[in-house]
Amino acid sequence: MPFRFKCLFIKYLELNYPKMENNQEEQNKSSLRETILAAGAILWRKEPFASDIAVIHRTRYGGEWCLPKDKVQLGETLEKAALREVKEETDCVARIVRFASVIDYNVKRTKKQIFYWHMEVVDESKWDEKDVEVDQIVWLDRK
């Protein structure tokens, strides 16, 4: 994880999860465990910030169009999770250009945080629908 991002991430955690008295900490541990971490990408096809971006259609949850993303697996870094999801959902090998943003929202009573990176395609294979969750990929023109 790049040093600058680590500092921002630690600051983010400090602001959102301040230190508490031991008894409060024990009471709130379950809610902290319920935060779902996910990672994804704004995947640029040719030149970052000046070309097409990938949008996928997921069959899950009634169908949705979104950027490639999914949950971080145990022991996986946010960056590795984002790169894995890009490969799984688009069949593209990508490289991280820079951090993009974090999105927070609630799913029922659980907080979800999605960390996004700008990525550029290094190798684009022919997409073959092998991911059971994704049934389409569309490259949207930036213009």
Of the two residues 101 and 35, the one the predictor is more confident about is: 101
Residue 24 has pLDDT above 90, yes or no: no
Exposed, middle or buried: residue 56 (CB in 10 Å: 0-12, 13-18, 19+)?
Answer: buried
**Residue 9 confidence (pLDDT):** 56
**Residue 96 confidence (pLDDT):** 96
Average pLDDT over residues 5-18: 53
Of the two residues 10 and 117, the one the predictor is more confident about is: 117
Listed in sequence order, the residues at least 6 apart from 96 whose beta carbon sits closer than 8 Å to its beta carbon are 79, 82, 83, 117, 118, 119
**Residue 1 confidence (pLDDT):** 44
Average pLDDT of every residue of the chain: 79
Q: How confident is the model at residue 125 (pLDDT cuts 50, 70, 90)?
A: confident
**Residue 13 confidence (pLDDT):** 54
**Residue 14 confidence (pLDDT):** 55
Tokens 């629908």 map to which residue? Answer: 129
**Residue 128 confidence (pLDDT):** 65
Measured CA to CA in angstroms, residue 127 lies from 22, 42, 116, 124, 137 at distances of: 51, 17, 22, 8, 8
CA distance 98 to 130: 28
Which of the residue ranges 38-47, 76-85, 121-130 would you say has the lowest mean pLDDT?
Answer: 121-130
